[in-house]
Amino acid sequence: MRLVLQSTLLPILAMALLLGACKQATQKANQSTVKTTAPASSEPWWKEAVVYQIYPRSFKDSNGDGVGDLQGIISKLDYVKSLGIDMVWLNPIYASPNKDNGYDISDYQNIMKEFGTMQDFDALLKGFHDREIKVFMDLVVNHCSSEHAWFKSARSSRNSPYYKYFHWWPAEKGKPPYRWSIFDEKGDAWEYNKATNSYYLHYFADAQPDLNWENPQLRQEIYKMMRFWLDKGIDGFRLDAIAFCSKDTTWQPLPAEYNGQWGMYYASGPHLHDYMQEMNREVLSKYNVATVAEAMGDVERVMKFVAPERKELNMAYYFEAIDFGYLPNEYKMPDPKGYDFVAWKKIYAKWTEAFAQKGWGTIYLANHDQPRMLTRWGNDTPEFRDASSKLLSTFILSMRGTAFYYYGDEIGMSNIKFDKVEDYNDIELLTNYAQVKAKGGDLKRFLEGMKISSRDNGRTPMQWDDSDNGGFGAGKPWLKVNPNYTSVNVAAQEKDPNSVLNYFRKMVQLRKKERALIYGDFKLVDAENPSIFAYTRSLEGRTILVLLNFKAVEAKVNTEGLDLSKAKVLLGNYPNSKATNQLKPYEALVLSL
Ligand code: TEU
Ligand code: CA
């Protein structure tokens, strides 16, 4: 909603008062008529939320079996609260044989044995709610596990009532038309099943058969399951790979316009948005909850999920910025020449501007599908670990869009960089490794690249203290703990007021205090600057200037047109930060103008 300031001055003043940020804001508001996307008092909570993502397998192991669990999270509720965050997103905790760590669900209404019981879940939800923290669950419904009762029945006979819950190609019609698979060694998304003499479809691993959304009965089952969790009082869903759920069942060859871009094609199913609207009508609209779509594709595609008048979902991730800087067609192999920083900034500007017109976006630099943000976007050398971790937190919490923050980043955890393939667990890496090997490719080069980009880098156990296994748990952890836990850990950083952890907390508080950081207009400053990411966030006459030097050398930013002479430092990541346009390596400055 775009509003002119004068017409909304009263409610805005009331709100500013409430937030204790009134004085400066109102003084400036009187002088200015800047057009902003002003927050009506009716703005939904999820726009202002800071989300903390917990990968339950790696957060805290309560019983010494080497796997994080729900009781482990319960034991850390006060820590999570102390971060100042508003919402937690839990990666899948449902029953699963864990071929893809919970993204292969065998029972949607039960808890994974290793994680605990439904009683543990209820206690966890209550624990968060008692602390005024909302809880998002992962909703993985593009596919389930081949161990799910539906699939076990379906694969036994074409007469099974569940056969039509999946997509099949009858073998009497010959070989199925090629479909690309993400976690399949052969790269083939059709798997032959003897008992039915047919092939089933799996966009991901063969242990992850795709659910047949074109079947209304299947959709009703999903909605029923969603209601089960919503009735328990959860606050929303992150919809996994949801863009893939509708299939073109004419099974034509890849249309020429997609030219090798299977993901884009999969994200363009003919009824995708009919289903999202149906889900909204039948389920989501009946609850006060929020949703975030893992929405692949370009602005136009992603926008369809979140444009409010379409009544689908609330927020969306996009991948263009996070997937930037890899060599094309090469398993997330980082470009040795580095990435084009100016182009990267412009991707953020493009998406931020799009969401300013309509809908609402998200900002993140890491999650369980990504390496550690410090290694990928900062600098994990001892010299710059601290400064660049703080810089990245500043970025996430000063951009426009709901902030998603990944566990461990608040203490500056970095990539573990395994040397040996045996150390890895992730199905994506193991599949890709097997493919490179089968093609006689350069495995050494592949493993070197994966030290930067592999998902397991972001899944190592949380580093709580300098005791064995970093305080994660007594047993041998399912994935190795980063050996730097002896110095990089929560306990050490709690004691240090200038730690990465305490900086993160300050930045969270700053975002809460400064509504401009949430709702303010975003404007790139000195867009072509090759080192510094600079932008203003303006709301109701208040302007905040964010200066972030992403490079290991000093750099200067052109702030022409902005008056820094009376600027006030709201937060900086060096001691005694000053309002200046000359920045130290990885320096971050948040200034009010
Ligand atoms: O990811 C969706 C997805 O398309 C992945 O291929 C993603 O692009 C990849 O992980 C990047 O390396 C979701 C989940 O977030 C992921 O953990 C699952 O493995 C995947 O779905 C299958 O459920
Ligand atoms: Ca455990």
Residues pairing with 198 in the sheet: 170, 193
Q: Exposure of 382 by Cβ count < 10 A (0-12 exposed, 13-18 middle, 19+ buried)?
A: exposed
Q: Ligand 2 centre and the CA of 467: distance in Å?
A: 17
Report the alpha-carbon distance of residue 298 to residue 122 in Å, rounded: 38
Please answer whether residues 94 and 137 qualify as being in contact, where contact means their C-beta atoms are separated by less than 8 angstroms.
no
Candidate from 204, 370, 428 with most ligand 1 atoms within 8 A of CB, to mutate: 204
Other beta carbons within 10 angstroms of residue 529's beta carbon come to: 20
Q: Residues with Cβ < 8 Å from 560, sequence gap 6 or more? A: none
Of the listed ligands, the closest to the CA of 71 is 2
Q: Ligand 1 centre and the CA of 267: distance in Å?
A: 13
Please answer whether residues 592 and 577 qualify as being in contact, where contact means their C-beta atoms are separated by less than 8 angstroms.
no
Q: What is the token pair recorded at 500?
A: 């990465």
The H or E element spanning position 28 is helix 22-31
Q: Which domains does the chain have, with CATH numbers?
A: 149-201 (3.90.400.10), 520-592 (2.60.40.1180)
Report the alpha-carbon distance of residue 473 to residue 62 in Å, rounded: 6
User: Residue 33: what pLDDT?
Assistant: 34
Q: What is the token pair recorded at 193?
A: 């099943």
Which residue's entry shows tokens 């999202």? 276
- Nearest residue (by CA) to ligand 1, atom 1, is 241
Q: Residues with Cβ < 8 Å from 559, sequence gap 6 or more? A: 525, 526, 534, 545, 581
User: Residue 64: what pLDDT?
Assistant: 98
Report the alpha-carbon distance of residue 581 to residue 591 in Å, rounded: 11
User: Residue 566: what pLDDT?
Assistant: 94
* Selection from 549, 547, 528 nearest residue 536 by Cα: 547
- Nearest residue (by CA) to ligand 1, atom 6, is 182
Which residue's entry shows tokens 């001892």? 382
Please answer whether residues 154 and 195 qualify as being in contact, where contact means their C-beta atoms are separated by less than 8 angstroms.
no
The closest-lying atom of ligand 1 relative to the alpha carbon of residue 368 is: 17
The closest-lying atom of ligand 1 relative to the alpha carbon of residue 103 is: 23
The closest-lying atom of ligand 1 relative to the alpha carbon of residue 142 is: 23
* Selection from 335, 336, 323, 310 nearest residue 370 by Cα: 323
The closest-lying atom of ligand 1 relative to the alpha carbon of residue 140 is: 23
Please answer whether residues 54 and 88 qualify as being in contact, where contact means their C-beta atoms are separated by less than 8 angstroms.
yes
Please answer whether residues 410 and 417 qualify as being in contact, where contact means their C-beta atoms are separated by less than 8 angstroms.
no
Q: Find the angle CA(373)-CA(375)-CA(380) to the nearest 5 degrees.
A: 120
Tens of pLDDT, residue by residue, the chain (593 residues): 333 333 333 334 344 444 433 334 333 333 333 344 455 557 999 999 999 999 999 999 999 999 999 999 999 999 999 999 999 999 999 999 999 999 999 999 999 999 999 999 999 999 999 999 999 999 999 999 999 999 999 999 999 999 999 999 999 999 999 999 999 999 999 999 999 999 999 999 999 999 999 999 999 999 999 999 999 999 999 999 999 999 999 999 999 999 989 999 999 999 999 999 999 999 999 999 999 999 988 999 999 999 999 999 999 999 999 999 999 888 999 999 999 999 999 999 999 999 999 999 999 999 999 999 999 999 999 999 999 999 999 999 999 999 999 999 999 999 999 999 999 999 999 999 999 999 999 999 999 999 999 999 999 999 999 999 999 999 999 999 999 999 999 999 999 999 999 999 999 999 999 999 999 999 999 999 999 999 999 999 999 999 999 999 999 999 999 999 999 999 999 999 999 999 999 999 999 99
Q: Ligand 1 centre and the CA of 369: distance in Å?
A: 6
Q: Ligand 2 centre and the CA of 58: distance in Å?
A: 10
User: Of the residues 114, 138, 294, 514, which is catalytic?
Assistant: 294
Of the listed ligands, the closest to the CA of 89 is 1
Other beta carbons within 10 angstroms of residue 311's beta carbon come to: 12
- Nearest residue (by CA) to ligand 1, atom 17, is 369
Q: Where are the alpha helices (DSSP H) in 267-340?
A: 272-282, 299-306
Report the alpha-carbon distance of residue 211 to residue 222 in Å, rounded: 10
Report the alpha-carbon distance of residue 477 to residue 195 in Å, rounded: 39
Q: Is the dihedral of CA 95, 98, 102, 103 positive or negative?
A: negative
Q: Ligand 2 centre and the CA of 139: distance in Å?
A: 23
- Nearest residue (by CA) to ligand 1, atom 16, is 369
Q: Is 294 one of the catalytic residues?
A: yes
Q: What is the token pair recorded at 50?
A: 């800071």
Candidate from 369, 404, 428 with most ligand 1 atoms within 8 A of CB, to mutate: 369
Please answer whether residues 53 and 406 qualify as being in contact, where contact means their C-beta atoms are separated by less than 8 angstroms.
yes
The DSSP result for 229-261, as a single string, is HHHHT--EEEETTGGG-S--TT-PPPPGGGTT-
Report the alpha-carbon distance of residue 114 to residue 96 in Å, rounded: 10
User: Residue 41: what pLDDT?
Assistant: 58
Phi (first) and psi of residue 276, to 5 degrees: -65, -40
User: Residue 28: what pLDDT?
Assistant: 38
The closest-lying atom of ligand 1 relative to the alpha carbon of residue 369 is: 10
Ligand 1: lining residues by beta carbon, under 6 Å: 100, 103, 140, 182, 204, 240-241, 294, 368-369, 428, 455
Tell how far CA 139 is from the center of its chain.
14
Residues pairing with 402 in the sheet: 362
Q: Where are the alpha helices (DSSP H) in 85-161?
A: 118-130, 149-154
User: Residue 200: what pLDDT?
Assistant: 98
The closest-lying atom of ligand 1 relative to the alpha carbon of residue 100 is: 19
Amino acid, single-letter form, for residue 227: R
Q: Residues with Cβ < 8 Å from 576, sequence gap 6 or more? A: none
Q: Ligand 1 centre and the CA of 368: distance in Å?
A: 9
Q: What share of the chain is helix, strand, coil (3-state, %, to 5)?
A: 40, 15, 45
Q: Residues with Cβ < 8 Å from 33, sequence gap 6 or more? A: 4, 5, 6
- Nearest residue (by CA) to ligand 1, atom 10, is 369
User: Of the residues 104, 114, 191, 240, which is catalytic?
Assistant: 240
Q: What is the token pair recorded at 372?
A: 């550690």
Q: Are strands 362-363 and 402-406 parallel, antiparallel or unpaired?
A: parallel
Q: Ligand 1 centre and the CA of 166: distance in Å?
A: 20
Report the alpha-carbon distance of residue 308 to residue 288 in Å, rounded: 15
The closest-lying atom of ligand 1 relative to the alpha carbon of residue 104 is: 23
Of the listed ligands, the closest to the CA of 476 is 2
- Nearest residue (by CA) to ligand 1, atom 18, is 103
Q: Is 104 one of the catalytic residues?
A: no
DSSP secondary structure letter of residue 553? S
- Nearest residue (by CA) to ligand 1, atom 8, is 369
334 SS3 class:
strand
- Nearest residue (by CA) to ligand 1, atom 4, is 241
139 SS3 class:
strand
User: Residue 329: what pLDDT?
Assistant: 83
Q: Ligand 2 centre and the CA of 68: distance in Å?
A: 5
DSSP secondary structure letter of residue 163? G
